[in-house]
Amino acid sequence: MSSSSLGLGARARLEAIREVNTRTPKRFDPPTDENGERMRISEFFGMNTFNMRQMREKLPKEVYVKLVQTIEQGKKLDLEIANTVAHAIKEWALERGVTHFCHWFQPQTGLTAEKHDAFLDFDEEGHPMERFSGSQLIQSEPDASSFPSGGMRTTFEARGYTAWDPSSPVFIMDAPSSKTLCIPSVFISYHGDALDEKTALLRSMEVVGQSALELLHTIGVTGAKRVVPTVGLEQEYFLIDRAFASLRPDLMMAGRTLLGGQPPKGQQLEDHYFGSIPTRALSFMAECEYELYKLGVPVKTRHNEVAPSQFESAPIFEEANIATDHNQLVMEVLRKVAQRHNFQMILHEKPFAGVNGSGKHCNWSMAIIAGDPGVHGVNLLEPGKTPHQNLRFIVVLAAVLKGVFKHSGLLRSSVASSGNDHRLGANEAPPAIISVFLGDLLTRICDEIEKGNVKDMNVEKAMLSLGVSKLPEVSKDSTDRNRTSPFAFTGNKFEFRAVGSSASTAFPTTLLNAAIADGMNELNAAIKAKLASGKPMEAAALDAVRDAIIETKAIRFDGNGYSEDWVKEAAKRGLPNLRKTPEALEQITSAKSKELFKKTKIFSEGELVSRYHVRVERYVKNLAIEVDTMRQIVDTLVLPACYAYHGALASTVVSAKAAGVSAPQLDCLNKIGTLLGTLHEKRLLLENEFRKTESFAHEEEKARAFADGVSKAMSEVRDVCDSLEGIVADEYWPLPKYREMLFLS
Ligand code: ADP
Ligand code: MG
């Protein structure tokens, strides 16, 4: 058949293949200095940020000191100082060709938001000039009415304001045609409610930092002044050629493929992981990294991931709020630079069935960032060299166990989304059951403590008999890494692996901070109670640790988290297994969670409930978009292609019969006929299930219906479409196939 007789859709697909096959990779030339010499990364790192070092250089000393104090105390900057700081920032920005500024904030969409204003203003005589005042730096009033608020803010009181978060440096977004000064900000209603993701994150950092300080104080670690959670976010993503992606309405609308037959080869050969990075992807990565370095994002590692066309980028860890901001920048830069390289960058948790989905491992620890020389810079989850340091380590570990054990349902809810539902528990990513992996050595130590063998020993003896002198080895002990655990200890940090690749990590990190603050407070209280009853400090601490280890035993699991056995075992242990988003989200507003946030003041009850509503709503909207996209694909692409092929085959059967020859294609024709019948039936079923959701008044009911009936109907529609894809002649098929999208680039 000549290509001119093909349907337009099928022709477009074949042209896309040709286009992809003849692409010349876009080069990225690393930056050079005025002599044409290649610059080192250290020479341009942070060049587009106005960080503390530059502040110190550019600001009068007393202003700088006050600014630092404000940052450390998390207070609002007073206007006097703000004017001076704004002036310095403006001069710096204008020198770099910046024309506009914006408050850059994180509404509850999971993304960032910005509204640009020009520096342009007019002086008294009406002459144009550039102006940027202190009040413009510290506060702005975007129209808040169109951001999700989960019912916290009704549209008639739409006012909210953004306020500079001076703990995160301002930066220049350097687009080819325009440079904008971005001011990282929080977003708050006029009543002081957090309308964004970041306000609560900052509160939670304060809370868990304070809890850590108090706990440290109780166990005799003195000299620590400020403790913060540190976070390193490994970002996974897919790169698909734009020519293919633009022919897939599902990728463009829903971020994932809603159908697509399995290619003969997926990831079973395990040949992509850590393989040599394809030239096109490498040149894309180099450009991303250049953009990110300029923004001061310390991206460090890059590699192929498990699935074909899947990659990962990870930075060096930073304080949790900076890491969160930087991850937003990573996602944005990946997306923008991908377009320049004719790629579609895909962040969805499960863009392709049958190959691994993408996550965002949230590596979490806590560090003393201000303190006396002996403790300054200490990572609280780093096993130490002396018995006392190891006592500190074990106490913090026990506090983490307590927090995660008590709030495992809440932690599950923190990563719940329609995308992540396809990944968690799909035998490739951590299951929806939250458990903690500690590894052999730590497990043995926990067991020893549990037996009570070290109960009343002093710390030197206890650590000796626990074999804790070997503790520094846990950081090198990477052999027992368990990839199936959602929350794994990896040497000197925990790795929360259940976070979705497209998610803002603000919420999961906030809830993790809150849970662990609770664990620390409870452990602290337990130690203090034992001290009050006359026990010496070390014995009191070890004793409380022992209680914690016994209490939280159910949460520890080092086995295969993907196995069916674990699902059964976890049920026996009473661990929640919240498979789908609607049931997971209910944890946000559980009594236990309400109490946690009331105690810690990280969310007011109104804020908490709104978090729940925003997420339920988003889930419903995402699913509705998926259903709508699927309808369109089936009705306008799949069915027409099948009808056309069916018709063409039927004609050949008629001709063959007329000629009196045999027509073996009748077999195929019948198969297609049968499948088409099933597709009609399933398509109708989907329609009916979808209609049902519209009849519910409450979003919760809709969400549940989407999670059950609608999802099931969608997967049934998909199955038939995929069977049809496997039988309809290739040249009729309008949608780029998995084998093309995943293997051609
Ligand atoms: P992996 O084998 O899991 O890739 P890496 O050592 O490369 O382990 O670390 C992964 C991430 O963990 C990196 O982003 C790294 O910066 C981060 N990380 C390391 N130490 C800490 C810490 N103390 N706190 C938070 N994140 C950390
Ligand atoms: Mg990792």
pLDDT computed for residue 157 by the predictor: 56
Mutate to test the pocket of ligand 1, among 493, 494, 512 (most ligand atoms within 8 A of CB): 493
Q: Are 445 and 453 in contact (CB under 8 A)?
A: no
Mean pLDDT on 587-598: 97
Task: State the ligand closest to the CA atom of 319.
Answer: 1
Q: Rounded distance, CA 291 to CA 339, Å?
A: 14
pLDDT computed for residue 479 by the predictor: 43
Q: Rounded distance, CA 246 to CA 261, Å?
A: 18
- Whether 13 shows a pLDDT value over 90: the answer reads yes
Q: Show the beta-strand stretches assigned E in 271-353.
A: 299-304, 310-315, 318-319, 343-346
Beta strand 120-122 pairing with 128-130: antiparallel
The CA 38 to ligand 1 mean position distance, Å, reads 29
Band of residue 586 on the pLDDT scale cut at 50, 70, 90: very high
Q: Are 322 and 297 in contact (CB under 8 A)?
A: no
Mean pLDDT on 613-632: 97
Q: Is 382 in the pocket of ligand 1 (CB under 6 A)?
A: no
The CA 266 to ligand 2 mean position distance, Å, reads 23
HSE (CB half, 13 Å, CA atoms) of 5?
5
Helix (H, G, I), strand (E, B) or coil at 311: strand
Mean pLDDT on 248-256: 97
Tell me the pLDDT tens digit for each residue of 499-522.
Answer: 999 999 999 999 999 999 999 999
The residues placing their C-beta within 5 Å of ligand 2, an ion, are 361
As given in the structure block, the two tokens for residue 2 are: 């000549």
Q: Are 324 and 201 in contact (CB under 8 A)?
A: yes
Band of residue 151 on the pLDDT scale cut at 50, 70, 90: confident
Task: State the ligand closest to the CA atom of 492.
Answer: 1
Q: How many CB atoms lie within 10 A of CB 252?
A: 12
The top-level CATH class assigned to 45-195 is alpha beta
Task: Kindly compute the dihedral angle of the four CA atoms of residues 404, 167, 367, 196, in this order, to the nearest 10 degrees.
Answer: 0
How confident is the prediction for the chain on average, in pLDDT?
91
CA angle 342, 348, 349 (to 5 degrees): 140
pLDDT computed for residue 159 by the predictor: 72
Residue spans in the chain of domains classed CATH 3.10.20.70: 45-195
User: Residue 233 CA: which ligand 1 atom is closest?
Assistant: 14
The CA 494 to ligand 2 mean position distance, Å, reads 10
Q: Is 234 in the pocket of ligand 1 (CB under 6 A)?
A: yes
pLDDT computed for residue 73 by the predictor: 76
Comparing 28-37, 269-278, 320-329, 343-352, which segment has the lowest mean pLDDT? 269-278
Band of residue 154 on the pLDDT scale cut at 50, 70, 90: low
Task: State the ligand closest to the CA atom of 493.
Answer: 1
- Whether 254 shows a pLDDT value over 80: the answer reads yes
Helices within 477-554 (DSSP H only): 506-532, 537-551
Label each residue of 667-726 as H, E or C: HHHHHHHHHHHHHHHHHHHHHHHHHHHHHCCCHHHHHHHHHHHHHHHHHHHHHHHHHHHC
Q: Rounded distance, CA 557 to CA 179, Å?
A: 50
Q: What is the DSSP letter of 634?
A: I
Q: Rounded distance, CA 604 to CA 609, Å?
A: 9
Q: How many CB atoms lie within 10 A of CB 313?
A: 22
Mutate to test the pocket of ligand 1, among 228, 363, 497 (most ligand atoms within 8 A of CB): 363
Q: Are 255 and 346 in contact (CB under 8 A)?
A: yes
DSSP codes joined into one string, 54-109: HHHHHS-HHHHHHHHHHHHHTPPPPHHHHHHHHHHHHHHHHHTT--EEEEEB-BTT
The CA 480 to ligand 1 mean position distance, Å, reads 16
User: Residue 315 CA: which ligand 1 atom is closest?
Assistant: 14
Q: Is 229 in the pocket of ligand 1 (CB under 6 A)?
A: no
Q: What is the DSSP letter of 595?
A: H
Which is it for the CA torsion 546, 549, 379, 369, positive or negative? negative
Q: Is 315 in the pocket of ligand 1 (CB under 6 A)?
A: yes
Tell me the pLDDT tens digit for each residue of 20-31.
Answer: 999 988 888 888
Which residues, including other chains, have CB under 8 Å from residue 650's CB and lie 6 or more apart?
Answer: 669
Q: Is 230 in the pocket of ligand 1 (CB under 6 A)?
A: yes
Q: Is 322 in the pocket of ligand 1 (CB under 6 A)?
A: no
Name the residue among 487, 459, 465 with its Cα closest to residue 545: 459
Mean pLDDT on 633-650: 96
Q: Which amino acid is at 563?
A: S
- Whether 110 shows a pLDDT value over 50: the answer reads yes
Q: Which residues pair with residue 427 across a beta bridge?
A: none
Task: State the ligand closest to the CA atom of 327.
Answer: 1
